[in-house]
Structure 1
Amino acid sequence: MERIYIGMGSNLAAPDQQLRSAAQALALLPGTTLAGVSAFYQSDSLLPGQPRYTNAVAALDSNLAPLALLDALQAIENDQGRERLERWGPRTLDLDILLFGDRLIDEPRLTVPHYQMHLRAFVLYPLAELAPADLQLPDGRTLKALLTACPFVGLERLPKV
């Protein structure tokens, strides 16, 4: 089994509930254990005029292969009403593989570590709640260095419900 971190985000159709439902669906994946879910965080959309996003990170222990997991995540998104109309557009649910054990993955359908996670406070700070303090990414960067370079700005940590 490998430790896998999944970024979760939603800005449509009751985002908090979308993330809770996604976590429940992740726990039901074959050969997978849901090891934890971070607090929820709200942030502005990357594009103007969209509702605020609610984000979190889930930690999984799984024996699924990377592309099989990607297919399962996309099925969960589809089950929760995801429509892929525009890049970075509003969505009921977005599930991204952030880290997959210590693997570097560069496939047409999947890049791990997630190619923009180092720029996104709404990914890094929830990840820091679940990952070991000394986490080193497969490409050599440390989570601590990424957090230092990406300040906690524009984020609101929501109280646990």
Structure 2
Amino acid sequence: MIVGLGNDIVDISRVDERLEKRILTEEERENKDGKITKEYIAGRFALKESYFKALYTGISGNSFQDISFLNRRDGSVFLMLHKYKPSKNGIYNFVYASLSHDSFAYATVLLEKIEGKVFIGIGTNLGKREENIQKALEKLTEISKIVSVSNIIETEPYGKTDQPTFLNCVVEIDTNLTPNALLEELLRIEKEMGRIRIEKWGPRVIDLDILFYGNLVLKNENLTVPHYDFENRIFFVKPMLEIAPDFVHPISLKTMSEIFDELKSKSLNNNMHPLNSWEF
């Protein structure tokens, strides 16, 4: 369901380059290869105005610093949210952006809510592991609708290796929670199940990670989505391959099948990830 649509047009010749500090984020400055031009500023201005219009709020209550429009390696544009705000029509989990230039910068942003497509990674290596996963799934039903669940796999610990092996799976959910509200609920569930955070990558009763929230890209002090290290973690990639092989990573634009094949080749060459992690 489409929940927002906005477009904007900017006359590039009328852009004052002094607007750079107001319009551009640090991420956008770093993303620009070379000198910041009027065309670049005009494009970001048009894209951000289009996004605010898609929220049906306009600039009121928003800041140009809340969002970044960045280019992928192929030149295509994607939105990075530093603050997620629902549209007046509700929650969205997909954003599409288009930008064209001649003497004007033309931008369009569309917001969409697609059922499911929010993926949570579940891991456990303490206590009764199978029961931990089942309990976590039960608690997830209290805050969302479960769409699909992968099989459980066993993998060696990642990062800190001197600890028990893990059981992992991925669950696809449908939710009306914003990304940060969902994170708060997952942290609450972890705490209720007895997780104590002592050391990075250490043993845990339960671990709940937001892997993807549709095709949204978010980066703020509390949350990074997609998961920052997704493409290097077999215990995320393999379950995702099982339940959503054609799902596309919103930054690399690679499908789960492509990511799995690349990780498999890399890991097997380095003798990584035993316990038949590559077998179905």
- Aligned counterpart in structure 2 of residue 118 of structure 1, from 205, 225, 231: 231
Residues matched between the structures, number = 154
The residue aligned with 2:213 is: 100
Q: Structure 2: which amino acid aligns with 1:127?
A: M
Q: Structure 1: which amino acid aligns with 2:150?
A: S
List per-residue Cα deviations over 1:4-55 (Å, max 9, x = no partner): 00000000011111111101110111xx211111111111112232000110
- Find out whether 1:39 has 2:151 as its counterpart: yes
- Secondary structure of the 1:145 match is helix
List per-residue Cα deviations over 1:49-101 (Å, max 9, x = no partner): 20001100010011110000000000010011000000000000000000001
Q: Do 1:82 and 1:93's aligned partners in 2 also have CA atoms closer than 8 Å?
A: yes
- Secondary structure of the 1:36 match is strand
Q: Do 1:37 and 1:58's aligned partners in 2 also have CA atoms closer than 8 Å?
A: yes
Deviation at 1:148, TM superposition (A): 1.0
CA distance in 2, matches of 1:104, 1:155: 32
Q: Structure 2: which amino acid aligns with 1:64?
A: L
List per-residue Cα deviations over 1:103-154 (Å, max 9, x = no partner): 00111111111011100111101111111x3211111232122111111842
The residue aligned with 2:128 is: 14
Larger Rg, first or second structure (1 or 2): 2
Q: After alignment, is 134-143 or 66-75 more displaced?
A: 134-143
- Find out whether 1:68 has 2:191 as its counterpart: no
- Find out whether 1:24 has 2:144 as its counterpart: no
The residue aligned with 1:149 is: 262
CA distance in 2, matches of 1:5, 1:64: 13
Q: Do 1:41 and 1:156's aligned partners in 2 also have CA atoms closer than 8 Å?
A: no
| Percent of residue pairs bearing the same amino acid type | 34
Q: After alignment, is 133-142 or 102-111 more displaced?
A: 133-142
Q: Do 1:40 and 1:54's aligned partners in 2 also have CA atoms closer than 8 Å?
A: yes
Deviation at 1:155, TM superposition (A): 4.2
Taking CA–CA contacts closer than 8 Å with sequence separation of 6 or more, which of the two structures ends up with the larger relative contact order? Answer: 1
CA distance in 2, matches of 1:155, 1:122: 11
- Aligned pair in 2 of structure 1 residues 156, 110: CA closer, same or farther (>3 Å)? same
CA distance in 1, matches of 2:147, 2:276: 24
CA distance in 1, matches of 2:259, 2:189: 29
- Secondary structure of the 1:57 match is strand
Q: Do 1:10 and 1:19's aligned partners in 2 also have CA atoms closer than 8 Å?
A: yes
CA distance in 1, matches of 2:147, 2:275: 24
CA distance in 2, matches of 1:117, 1:103: 15
Q: Structure 2: which amino acid aligns with 1:4?
A: V
Q: Do 1:23 and 1:37's aligned partners in 2 also have CA atoms closer than 8 Å?
A: no
Q: Structure 2: which amino acid aligns with 1:50?
A: Q
- TM-score normalised by L of structure 1: 0.90
Q: Structure 1: which amino acid aligns with 2:274?
A: G
Gaps of at least 5 residues in structure 2 are 1-112
